[in-house]
Amino acid sequence: MVDIDDEDLWAPFLASRTPDRQAARLRAHARADQRRGQRHVPRRADVLSRDEIVRVAIQVADAEGADAVTMRRIARELNAGTMSLYWHIASKEELLDLMIDEIQGGQPMPEPSGDWRQDMYVLARSTRQRLHQHQWMMDFLGGRPPTGPKSLLNLERVLASFDGLGLDSAAAIDIVSTVGTYVLGAVLREVQEHNNESFRDQQFAGLTEDEIQQVLAEFTERVRATGRYPRLLAMLDDRHDPDAAETRDARFEFGLECLLDGIAAHLPAQPATPPRPARSRPARPSTQPPALSPAAHTPAPPPPGPSPTPHTPWPAS
């Protein structure tokens, strides 16, 4: 829970933070009441809370996309009048800021473990999980500064993972941003793969499995007849699908491992430690040829383990 004194710790450049005298007056009045343990909220707004409004708005966005989130719609979901929401939240823009801050920082990151690499694994995996749970956020992370009080707390904890490594603040935040950039790109690719699977299913609708295999075999032979694609044919002959849903977790982990290896190579030399056991990549299953196999998979869930909420450090727009 964010301390009441941190309620003003929102980035001043956020779109929702434009001057609004009425909203500022209501917010100041509510803060003063909370500090005194009193409530003077109008009766029709008294049954609502900002946390409840944000929770319902996130549910609507998850089900129908962010465009479905309006103050009128959320009021209807809460069986309240639209004006009652404005006692707690000034605008739809502020509501979006609160939704993003809640998803990124609603559950605090664990305290630093003393192993920066392990902390970056936790960061990457939890961020990936949250982005798959709330895919509508992908539309905002590139153009909306996601900086609120809950996100700031998580960012502070993540940066503490590099204490004692001899890094300056610029190097630490660059590492966190680089990990965030990798996760954002990986999830975008995974979402595209899932959409492609749905499209292929539609294209092959009504065909038997034998008929599908015949279509794919004919395509492979047309490629072979050109004599220009030996490497692609090798992949097709191996029945290897680089977009297979079954290998998404393994592919994500492989890329993350390579990224952290590269980061580690740029860190100041540290005292020798026992070598970490090598991570073996799971064998890829045989699947249909790439971009044509009629799969019907949903995005694979992230690997088991702790899944704290993601936080502020996303790629800068």
- In a domain? residue 57: yes
- pLDDT, residue 27, reads 60
- In a domain? residue 133: yes
- pLDDT, residue 181, reads 93
Q: Domain containing 177 — which CATH number? A: 1.10.357.10
Domain count, the chain: 2
293 or 210: whose pLDDT is higher?
A: 210
- In a domain? residue 211: no
- In a domain? residue 223: no
What is the rounded distance in angstroms from the CA atom of residue 189 to the CA atom of residue 11? 30
Where does a domain end: 73, 105, 137? 105
126 or 236: whose pLDDT is higher?
A: 126
24 or 16: whose pLDDT is higher?
A: 24
Where does a domain end: 53, 76, 105? 105
- In a domain? residue 274: no
Going by the DSSP 8-state scheme, the letter that residue 107 receives in this structure is: S
Quick: pLDDT tens for 227-286: 999 999 998 888 888 899 999 999 999 999 999 999 999 998 765 555 565 555 555 544
Whether residues 68 and 137 fall in one domain: no
Whether residues 28 and 74 fall in one domain: yes
In this prediction, residues 76-97 reach a mean pLDDT of: 89
Whether residues 249 and 132 fall in one domain: yes
- pLDDT, residue 288, reads 44
pTM above 0.75? no
Q: Which domain range does residue 82 map to?
A: 4-105
Nearest to 23 by CA among 102, 101, 94, 80: 94
Instruction: Give the rounded percent of residues in the chain with a pLDDT score beyond 70.
Output: 68
What is the rounded distance in angstroms from the CA atom of residue 281 to the CA atom of residue 283? 6
Whether residues 254 and 122 fall in one domain: yes
Average model confidence (pLDDT) across the chain: 79
Q: Band the pLDDT of 201: cuts 50, 70, 90.
A: confident
Whether residues 88 and 182 fall in one domain: no
Q: Domain containing 94 — which CATH number? A: 1.10.10.60
Q: How far is CA 316 from CA 54, 98, 155, in A?
A: 25, 19, 14
Those residues with Cβ within 8 angstroms of residue 229's Cβ, 6 or more apart along the chain or in another chain: 223
- pLDDT, residue 143, reads 57
- pLDDT, residue 144, reads 57
pLDDT at 149 over 60: yes
Whether residues 94 and 122 fall in one domain: no
Whether residues 120 and 262 fall in one domain: yes
Those residues with Cβ within 8 angstroms of residue 217's Cβ, 6 or more apart along the chain or in another chain: none
